[in-house]
Every structure is written in C-alpha cells, then in structure tokens.
Structure 1
Amino acid sequence: MGIPTEPVGSIPRPAELLTAMADHAAGRIGDDELAAAQDRAVRDTVRRLEETGSPVVTDGEQSKPSFATYPLAGLDGLAPDGVVIPFADGHQRQLPRLTAGPLRYAVHADRYVRAALRHATVPVKQAVIAPSALSLLYPPDGIDGYSREAFLDDLTAEAEADIRGCLGAGADSVQLDFTEGRLALKLDPSGGLLEQFVALNNRVLERFSAAEQARIGVHSCPGGDQDSTHSLNVDYAELLPRLLRLKAGRFAIQLASEPDPDAVLSVLAKHLPAHARVFVGVTDPVDPRVETPEQVRDRVLAAARHLPPDRLGTCDDCGFSPFADDTSTSRDTAFAKIRARIEGTALASGHLGV
C-alpha cells in the first residue's frame, strides 16, 4: 500500500465562505445561510482533496473559527484578555480567559466528522484541540468557587468526550493539535510547563484502550499563522523526547521547515515508541513556494535513512489556515502542495519498494 500520507487539518476557506462569515458576524445573514455556505465549503474541500489522490481527507476545518477555540464558540463565562501568543513577524493571537465554571464545550468536533462523511468516499480524519491548549484558559489568580483542580477534571472529561465523539461518529483517526508543546519551552525553558502539558494530555489519553490509542495521533509544530511561526527558534530536541511519551499511536511532526532535519530525525529514531508511526512533514505551508514531487521524494528518502518505512508516513508541516481569517496562503496553493506531497510520497514508496 506504500507509505501512508495524510493532511494535518485546515485548508484555506473559499472566498464565498469568508464573505458569509463576515456577513453573519455583521448580522446580514442568519445561521441557516452560514451553515449552507459552510457545507458547500466542506463539500468542495473533500472533493478537491480526493481529486489530489489523498487516501484520507478532512473537513479542512471550514466551519471552525480556529483550530484552538472551536469548543468555545458561543460559550458564556469568557473574557477576551487571556494568554497572548506572539509570532515572529510581530502579530499576535490571544486566547480568551475563563471567568466562571464549570467548563463545558459548547461545540464538539464530531459535528465536523459527520459533515465530512456526508461527502467523502475515503476515510475521514478529524483534528481536535489538545486539552493542554485549553488549560491556558484558566487564569493564574484563579476563579472564585471554581478551583484549578475542578477545572482540570472538567477539561479532562470534555476532551475525552470530544475524542470519543469523533471515533463514534466514524472518524478513521483523531489528531490532537499540540502546537503549544514547543511554545511551552519558549515560555518556560525549564521544561516545567511542557511537563504539565504532557501529563494533562496523557491524563486524557490514558482513558482509551490500546486499540483506541492506535487511532489517536498528536500533531506538533512551531505554529503556522499568517506565514509566521511562534516557536521555530526553540530546539526541537528539547521537545521530542517528552512529546513522544504521549500515549498515542501516531505522531505528525513538522519537519520540512526545520533547518537541520537530520538532527530531528535522529531524535525521532531514538525515542519513537515501538508501537507508534511517525508522519513527517514534507511540505511547508508557511513557504509560498510549491514543492515538487521530487523534493518531497527526497525528503521522504532522507527520513527513511533514520526510520523504517513501515513506521513512516508523511504529512504537511502544519494546517494551512488554522485561524479562519488567515488568508496568507491561497486555496489553490494549498491543494498544489498537497498534490506534491501525495505524488512525492508515492515516488519514494516506489524507490523503497514498499
């Protein structure tokens, strides 16, 4: 069957959907009109992914406001002045701050699985936000009547339900987006925050059986928003040994944008759990240049010098538009990069005889 290849998650939204989102926010159209535009965007995304030959598709996160905040859409008890995430080009993203408990997801990701399955003829993968990211919602000075321990109990239960809902809805696999892993080392070089994140994510993952964990993956990258990153300057070697302790069967690791991919591959080869497969990034969504299939082939072959082909897969480094308003990469460019990934992975599979 060759080396498996799959998308990470988000695809740039079409102009029609972006217009509908703006019109809905301004009160010019209602919920039904927005939902119809979202469904058309999902249908087109699935169709175009299948046309590239993608053996696995996603909904492209067309209906998510962002990869991180979809569970919070319409939720009460939030203030806008939460944790700020600075990017290398100077722009920032800011999370909300929880002001009251209990935490309950307003939106679960199984709705996105069901939307994609209405149009897909191949397996559907679903990305969900890691609980470690949402743990940043809780303010450092606490919330009266709602302890951090109670918050983490609620968050763990909600994150488990999010994953179980996707698997139950028919997702072939579920991916935890853990882009805050590398960022944690930037915020706290001692590694204490990262250890907390890993422990919290494992607290959720340990609720699943070994067979279920085999269908659950973790994605890591240095962020990718508006053609910039938030933690590419953090040494990957400091993250990966701890990241690979997560109780998951699949790891999607950004690699195409790394200045020294062989060093990263050496760490992966040393620490990859015996049961796990690693999907290495072979296209860079932050780079506007479209990779050739031959460039992708060579990146896969370089990875195969460190990792056995039966434990190797390929992916894009990051999602192409993790926040709905990110239009830095065109929709056509994203699909061109995806096609190059698929064709290049096939070339490498042929070279390796798998």
Structure 2
Amino acid sequence: MTRLLPTSTAGSLPKPSWLAEPEVLWSPWKLEGEALVAGKQDALRVSLQEQQHAGIDIVSDGEQSRQHFVTTFIEHLNGVDFEKRETVKIRDRYEASVPSVVGPVSRQKPVFVEDAKFLRSQTDQPIKWALPGPMTMVDTLFDGHYKSREKLAWEFAKILNEEAKELEAAGVDIIQFDEPAFNVFFDEVNEWGIATLERAIEGLKCETAIHICYGYGIKANTDWKNTLGSEWRQYEKAFPKLQQSNIDIVSLECHNSHVPMELIELIRGKKVMVGAIDVASNTIETPEEVAETLRKALQFVDADKLYPCTNCGMAPLSREVARGKLQALSAGAAIVRKELEAQR
C-alpha cells in the first residue's frame, strides 16, 4: 500500500436480507442450489460497493459467502463430523454445540479460492482475505481423534497453508488469520499458538496479518468483557512473541475498549491495524472520534505502519449502522492523513 493510513475492515459485514437473516450470527441461508451461489456473488458485489462508496482502501468479501468465520472453513475438511456434536466451552466463555474431529483432518479441495478469484475480478484495489487461525479452529471443535489441542493445531496449520498459497495465487494481497483465542489461552499461545501460525504462513510472499479481538458484540462476549476490569492487558501476553514472528500486520481492538494504547509499543516494527470502530454498539462514531483514536495510536506506531480498521467483524449489525461506521472510519482517517501531510 502506498497510501498513508489505508483503511480496511477486520472481517465480516452484514448480509443482505434476501441472503440471510439480518443481524443474526450463524443465520441460515434463504436460498439454495444455484440461486445460493448467485446470491452469494451478488452479496459480495454489494458488500464491495459499500466499502468502495465509504472510501475503504483495502477491500474484502465482507465474508458474504460464509455463515461463520470458523466453521464454514471446517465444513469443507475431511475428518470432522458435523452430525456428531458435543457441547464444549468456547474460549472459556460460553457453551456451544460443536462438530467432532473423528479422524485425520485434511483438505480435499480449495475452500475460498473461487470466491477470492471472483472478488479479484471485481476490483483493482488491494484485497484482504480472512481465514480462521489454527488455535481458534481447535477451540471451536470437540477433538475425539488427536486428543491434543497442539497436534490438531499443527494439522490445521498445514491445511491453512495450502489454502493461503492458493489464495495468494488468486491475487489476494493480504491474508489475515483470525485468532480471538490468543486473548484467552496465554500459555498455549506462547508454547505452540504462534508457532502453528508461522506454519500457516510458511512460504507466502503476500502480506500476512493476525487479527486478535475481544469478539463480536454478542452477550457472551460483552458479559466477559465486563469481568476484565478497568485495564485489558491480554495483548501483553502474546505481543512480545508476535513481534519476533514473521507476521507482517497485527490487528487489534482499540476504540471503546480498555486496552492501554501503549501496549502497541510491544509490536514496534510491525504494521498495526488499529481498531477505531466499536462493533459492539449501534452508535456510529464521529470522524473526530476515529481521528482521536488514531492520534493516540500514532504515539506508539509509525504513521507509515498504521492501518485504520474496525475492532472486529460487523455481521451482527444492521447494514445502515455498518455503512455509517465505514464512512466514519474513512473520514476519520482522512482527518489524520491531512494532519500528517501538513507536518511533512
């Protein structure tokens, strides 16, 4: 990216009401067969256009073709039985009925590559594609086969690496791995979490990112956040090792969170996607609020490495609110861009 402060989203955008139930996570598709294939492509076009109209610099598919950021990827793999479900605690926060790993996991064919090619055909802008990270995939399943979170994570890392290489070949500029589990399982992050992430990005020439957030604005997440006290220092546990890793960009939550901004200092040298939009609220930020978050971040990250972003995905929000937030992100970045250019 040559532009200063290039904007992007952390992940999902709301789906049109004709494709899935609005403002609902895991919403079932309203179409099927060929109509669903066409509907997902139309939704991707709409999502892309909304990003472009709002002035977003690095665009994505808005995750229009997936029901969920983790399970849609897992659905395409061998070794996981979606009929055989078990209840597990996800991210040590809430219980969910999840599929079971019943045998060796493998990927028979690409999962998102055709979607990525379609997005690439629709725009000349830089595109970012999100994949679930190995640890977060492990944390979204019941493992009845490997009986080891670490072993399963290494297997997923190999599979993700295959997918990532094909996404790169399809023209994706940034591949982002979503790892909300990095904010919870600190020992595992440092023992094998970052190592498995390194395996997932092995051999890639495109830019790579890791997105670590405090989750969608759903009740289980907001309840958990209320227990974290006045300062959220979870990033402190993973950042020193991430700073030493081969990941190019670290995406984190900042606006309306209790994350001390100085923690960004721990990843000095990396590009930083600073979450300047709160996705757990329907209140649309003003451009000035966004600008203020970015100014604070600039105390700890060089301007040429600051990428204004959203805190997390916006799937549970209304399209109108999401649109307003995207516009605020662009306008806020423009304010600070102008200030920086005036200082040159």
Higher relative strand content: 2
Partners of 1:281 and 1:316 within 8 A in 2: yes
Task: Kindly provide the amino acid, as one letter, of the partner of residue 18 in structure 1.
Answer: A
CA spacing shift, 1:339–1:93, aligned 2, 3 Å: farther
What TM-score, normalized to structure 2? 0.84
- List aligned pairs for 1:171-320, cutoff 5 A: 171-185=172-186, 191-192=187-188, 194-205=190-201, 207-208=202-203, 212=205, 215-226=207-218, 229=221, 232=225, 233=228, 235-236=233-234, 237-259=236-258, 261=259, 263=260, 265-269=261-265, 271-274=266-269, 276-320=270-314
Shift of 1:84: 2.5
What TM-score, normalized to structure 1? 0.82
Equivalent position to 2:323, from 324, 335, 338:
335
SS of residue paired to 1:335: helix
Shift of 1:102: 3.6
Question: What is the alpha-carbon distance in structure 2 between the residues aligned to residue 139 and residue 19 of structure 1?
Answer: 27
Q: Deviations over 1:164-192 (max 9, x none)?
A: 1111100111111111110224xxxxx24
Q: Deviations over 1:112-132 (max 9, x none)?
A: 312322322422111111122
Q: Which runs of 5+ in 2 are unaligned?
A: none
- List aligned pairs for 1:25-64, cutoff 5 A: 30-64=32-66
Task: Kindly provide the amino acid, as one letter, of the partner of residue 9 in structure 1.
Answer: G
Task: Kindly provide the amino acid, as one letter, of the partner of residue 272 in structure 1.
Answer: I
CA spacing shift, 1:15–1:317, aligned 2, 3 Å: same
Question: What is the alpha-carbon distance in structure 2 between the residues aligned to residue 240 and residue 7 of structure 1?
Answer: 21
Question: Is 1:100 aligned to residue 92 of structure 2?
Answer: no
Aligned residues: 326
Question: What is the alpha-carbon distance in structure 1 between the residues aligned to residue 105 and residue 199 of structure 2?
Answer: 19
- List aligned pairs for 1:338-349, cutoff 5 A: 338-349=326-337
Question: What is the alpha-carbon distance in structure 2 between the residues aligned to residue 226 and residue 71 of structure 1?
Answer: 21
Question: What is the alpha-carbon distance in structure 2 between the residues aligned to residue 335 and residue 93 of structure 1?
Answer: 31
CA spacing shift, 1:70–1:22, aligned 2, 3 Å: closer
Shift of 1:238: 2.8
Partners of 2:28 and 2:67 within 8 A in 1: no
Q: Which runs of 5+ in 1 are unaligned?
A: 186-190, 322-326
Question: Is 1:11 aligned to residue 13 of structure 2?
Answer: yes
Identity across aligned pairs (percent)?
Answer: 21
Question: What is the alpha-carbon distance in structure 1 between the residues aligned to residue 296 and residue 132 of structure 2?
Answer: 30
CA spacing shift, 1:105–1:341, aligned 2, 3 Å: farther
CA spacing shift, 1:30–1:238, aligned 2, 3 Å: closer
Higher mean C-alpha displacement, 147-156 vs 53-62: 147-156
Shift of 1:310: 1.8
Task: Kindly provide the amino acid, as one letter, of the partner of residue 337 in structure 1.
Answer: K
Shift of 1:94: 4.4
Shift of 1:229: 2.1
RMSD: 2.8
| Residue 129 (structure 1) aligns with | 132
CA spacing shift, 1:267–1:150, aligned 2, 3 Å: closer
